[in-house]
Structure 1
Amino acid sequence: MKREYGIARCGLACCLCSENKTCHGCNSGECPDKDWCENRKCLIKKFYEHCFNCGEDCRKGLLTKIKPYGFTLFAKRYGQEMLLDCLERNEKLGIVYHREGINGRLR
């Protein structure tokens, strides 16, 4: 787990992704999908860093996917650090959230 990559704006776990070797997470500004990401555009417009910081219960963009939506709900309730702690613990226990070719992105 690359904890420093954190959680993407939409709730994807960038910290667990091995898909793109040149990306250092959503919040690094290096995400290859940043120009089309509906969640990123919305958050920039509203001056929020993450969907879990927003008071709305929305299902647009990547929040239509179960994992980002679930991670967002968890972070809203318990905070990003607790989410990262749980993901790290679960990864050590062998739980796989991300597999090559299967991802939470829309494309």
Structure 2
Amino acid sequence: MKRELGIGRCGLACCLCSKNTYCTGCDSGECPGKEWCENRKCSIEKGVAHCYTCEEECKKGLLGKIKPYAFNLFIKRYGEEQLLDCLEANEKAGVVYHREGVNGDYDDFEEIEKLIAFIQTGRQL
């Protein structure tokens, strides 16, 4: 885990991304998705560092997917450091962020609250 990369503007875990060997995050200007990422563009236009700091209830762009949406909701409830702590502990316990392509253990959910519980515990309840 490259904790220093933290959480992307959209809520995805740049710190665990399989592309982080060459990507240095949303704000570096090196992000491979910088031209098309709706969440990056929107947050820059609004002057906010992350979608989770925005007051609007939104499912724009990547927030239409359960993982980044749940990560944002988790941060709103518990803070970014708590999310990073949980992701790090889960990785050490064998939870996989990206298994094939961009899908991993955090993508196996249909209910947000179940995913949030998984983030906290590292196991499905």
TM-score by length of 1: 0.90
Task: Please tell me the residue identity of whatever aligns with 1:54.
Answer: C
Q: CA RMSD in A?
A: 1.5
Q: Which runs of 5+ in 2 are unaligned?
A: 105-125
Opposite residue 86 of structure 1, the aligned amino acid is C
Q: Indicate the percent of aligned positions where both proteins have the same amino acid.
A: 72
Q: Which residue of 1 is the match for residue 21 of structure 2?
A: 21
Cross-structure match for 1:91: 91
- Quote the residue 1:40 is aligned against: 40
Contact 1:19 1:100 (8 Å CA) reproduced: no
**What's the counterpart of residue 74 of structure 2?**
74
User: Deviation string for 1:28-67 (max 9, x for gaps)?
Assistant: 2210110111001111111000000011110010001111
For the 8 Å contact 2:14–2:20, the answer to whether it is kept is no
Unaligned runs of 5+ in 1: none
Q: In the alignment, what sits opposite 2:6?
A: 6
**Following the alignment from structure 2 to structure 1, what is the Cα–Cα distance between the partners of residues 82 and 12?**
15
Given the two structures, how large is their TM-score scaled by the length of structure 2?
Answer: 0.77
Rg larger in structure: 2
Q: CA deviation at 1:24?
A: 1.1
Counterpart-to-counterpart distance in 2, 1:74 and 1:84: 11
Structure 1 counterpart of 2:61, one-letter code = G
Letter in 1 for 2:92: K
Aligned residues: 104
Partner of 1:101: 101
Structure 1 runs (4+) greater than 3 angstroms displaced = none
Distance verdict in 2 for CA 1:103–1:33, change over 3 Å: farther
What is the CA–CA distance in structure 2 between the aligned matches of 1:81 and 1:20, rounded to whole Å?
19
Displacement after TM superposition at 1:101 (Å):
1.4
Q: Which amino acid aligns with 1:38?
A: E
Structure 1 distance, partners of 2:55, 2:14, is 22
